[in-house]
Structure 1
Amino acid sequence: MNLYLATKNLGKVREINSMFAGTGIDFVSAGTIMGNVAEDGDTYHKNAFAKAMAVYEQNTTAVVAEDSGLEVDALDGAPGVFSARFASNEDGVNSSDEDNINALLDFMQDTPEPSERTARYVSVFCLMMGGKSLFFEGEIAGTIAAEPMGTSGFGYDPVFIPSGYDKTFAELGDQIKNKISHRAMAVIKLKDYLLSIDDNNKK
């Protein structure tokens, strides 16, 4: 089964495909046909739906879109839905991972204690298929490191330390991250659903 993934982020495509390895389900970036989608929703669900619809309206095959974000307690849940453009001065334009991390750490420089640097990563997938939308959610708690550490992953991975570990996602590497992350939790639910459909179609 081949599906479009409504993203231009090739790192996200690789990460999700690695989670589906061996299932016979493959995702292809729909970045060339989705255009520029205004991710101006106030929830991850609304943004994921908007991205999925942008592709589905042009090609009615199955489409999956994801919106995710980092929610920091000391910042009242920010950056949240603005995670990809946290350091941007222009609405709707994503800023670089490095700039976003630097902006986050600047905001938290007066919050030195790990117990006060709690946060969570949230992921929401939207599946558009047969004219209907379904959502699959995942979440993982953790803390924000004082400085970036590690080189793998993307986004805020160099500063996010998942609960139960003493290393950032970027230090732990894809093998561990893809088992415990917010995206992994949502993907498990999406995978179970897609495999159940595939099994039913084979009967």
Structure 2
Amino acid sequence: MGGLNPPPVLVATRSAHKLREIRDLLADVPVRLLGPEDLGLPAREEEERLEPFDTFALNALSKAKYFHRRSGLPVLADDSGLCVDALGGGPGVRTRRFAPAEWVDRWGRDEANNRWLLDRMGGVADGQRTAHYRCAVALTDDLRHEVVEGVVRGHIVREPRGTGGFGYDPLFVPEGYEGSYAELPEAVKAETSHRSVAVRRARGWIETHVVRNRGGRI
């Protein structure tokens, strides 16, 4: 359809928040970032089993390869989570599914996870509440794949603060700031977050293996 039509890249997420964040981070790269719904790919039960590994990198690559098989497109997939030192690095790869099911049924996933985290850290002193967010971004196409990572360090506060963001953002204060990610301007998170660091590191792969190699074709 001509070189003016930017080539597509499938972002392997069904989270509207995450898709919007990644689109914003790569807004100046000449590709079309599509979600599964944009391609008419219905959710399948097997998608719940795409993250069986104990590292973010392997889980991200698992999702990338799966959605490449379904779509035939270059794919960007991420796996990310919160690692709390006082919890031995937990919840880690279980970040999204941290709270018990009955808590999720009662409060919804994000609030349940936040409540469960605070419950688990009730006896942890202020100076020992250090944590970091980690994100692994996997990229794959017909011929090759790559995984890049980003990390942002901070600490966990004792009660939710702010109304922005999603996930654990109301509880996480990044190093160098006094507010949580839910309190800080969106531009701060876009610049400093674990996902922003990893996605920026993915730009070179996209520009080399999607933009240049496909030359704008679909």
Query: Would you say same fold, with TM above 0.5?
Result: yes
Could you tell me how far apart the structure 2 residues matched to 1:34 and 1:146 are? 36
| 1:199 shift after superposition | 4.3
- Verify: 1:175 aligned to 2:190, yes or no: no
CA shift digits 1:65-87 (9 cap, x unpaired): 10001000000000000000000
Contact 1:6-1:34 within 8 A present in 2 as well? no
Could you tell me how far apart the structure 1 residues matched to 2:207 and 2:43 are? 26
Within 5 Å, give how 1:49-64 maps onto structure 2.
49-64=61-76
Could you tell me how far apart the structure 2 residues matched to 1:9 and 1:97 are? 13
Could you tell me how far apart the structure 2 residues matched to 1:5 and 1:171 are? 27
Q: What amino acid does structure 1 have at the position aligned with 2:118?
A: L
Q: What amino acid does structure 1 have at the position aligned with 2:86?
A: A
* Local SS of the residue matching 1:191: helix
Q: Which runs of 4+ in 1 moved over 3 A?
A: 31-34, 199-202
Q: Which residue of 2 aligns with 1:13?
A: 19
| 1:25 shift after superposition | 2.6
The runs of 5 or more residues in structure 2 that have no matched partner are 1-6, 103-107
| 1:9 shift after superposition | 0.8
Could you tell me how far apart the structure 1 residues matched to 2:132 and 2:32 are? 28
Higher relative contact order (CA 8 A, sep 6+): 2
Could you tell me how far apart the structure 2 residues matched to 1:67 and 1:178 are? 17
Q: What amino acid does structure 2 have at the position aligned with 1:96?
A: R
* Local SS of the residue matching 1:164: coil
Could you tell me how far apart the structure 2 residues matched to 1:69 and 1:57 are? 25
Could you tell me how far apart the structure 1 residues matched to 2:32 and 2:71 are? 17
Comparing 8-17 with 149-158, which one deviates more in the overlay?
Answer: 149-158
Q: Which residue of 2 aligns with 1:30?
A: 36
Contact 2:137-2:149 within 8 A present in 1 as well? yes
Q: Which residue of 1 aligns with 2:118?
A: 105
Q: Which residue of 2 aligns with 1:127?
A: 139
CA shift digits 1:81-116 (9 cap, x unpaired): 0000000349xxxx6111001000000111131x20
Give TM-score, length-normalised by structure 2.
Answer: 0.84
% of aligned pairs identical? Answer: 37
Give TM-score, length-normalised by structure 1.
Answer: 0.90
Could you tell me how far apart the structure 2 residues matched to 1:23 and 1:71 are? 31
Q: What amino acid does structure 2 have at the position aligned with 1:98?
A: E
Could you tell me how far apart the structure 1 residues matched to 2:190 and 2:122 are? 30
Q: What amino acid does structure 2 have at the position aligned with 1:35?
A: R
Q: What amino acid does structure 2 have at the position aligned with 1:81?
A: V
Contact 1:34-1:55 within 8 A present in 2 as well? no
Question: Among residues 36, 39, 42, which one is paired with 2:54 in the alignment?
Answer: 42
| 1:33 shift after superposition | 4.1
| 1:59 shift after superposition | 1.8
- Verify: 1:190 aligned to 2:196, yes or no: no
| 1:201 shift after superposition | 5.5
The runs of 5 or more residues in structure 1 that have no matched partner are none
Q: What amino acid does structure 1 have at the position aligned with 2:165?
A: G
| 1:22 shift after superposition | 2.4
* Local SS of the residue matching 1:41: coil
* Local SS of the residue matching 2:70: coil
Q: Which residue of 1 aligns with 2:105?
A: none
Comparing 38-47 with 118-127, which one deviates more in the overlay?
Answer: 38-47
